[in-house]
Amino acid sequence: MDVNSEEAYKLLQKNKEIVLLDVRTFDEFELGYIKGALNIDFYQPDFWEKILQFECGKTYLIYCRTQNRSTSVVDFMIENGFENIYKMTDGFTGWFSNNLPIEE
């Protein structure tokens, strides 16, 4: 399901069980990230294998800088049996632009 950054913020406030995946590079992550996010660099050779290690039954919120990488990740996860997935359509750029809290 597509959500914007403000909707994503509300989801994270309501459901502390959501697994928050940041698929930006390590360098991008180091510049700022959403509290509680797990960073898995999309460009690492073992990226897809790491994604498949997650539990299909959990709820995930995926984000990148904009939405290009996260779209690929969400499509892959759906193809591999994951059902409860949110994609942040405006990415970290939108989160930052909306002055939502970040960790540095």
> Where are the chain's structural domains?
2-103
Site of tokens 């632009």? 97
Confidence label for 67 from pLDDT (cuts 50, 70 and 90):
confident
Strands 19-22 and 38-39 come out as: parallel
Strands 2-3 and 19-22 come out as: unpaired
Best CA proximity match to 20, nearest among 57, 55, 61, 52: 61
Mean pLDDT of 66-78: 95
Q: Look at domain 2-103 and name its CATH class.
A: alpha beta
- Answer yes or no: pTM beyond 0.85: yes
Confidence label for 57 from pLDDT (cuts 50, 70 and 90):
very high
Residue 101, classed as helix, strand or coil, is coil
Residue 75, classed as helix, strand or coil, is helix
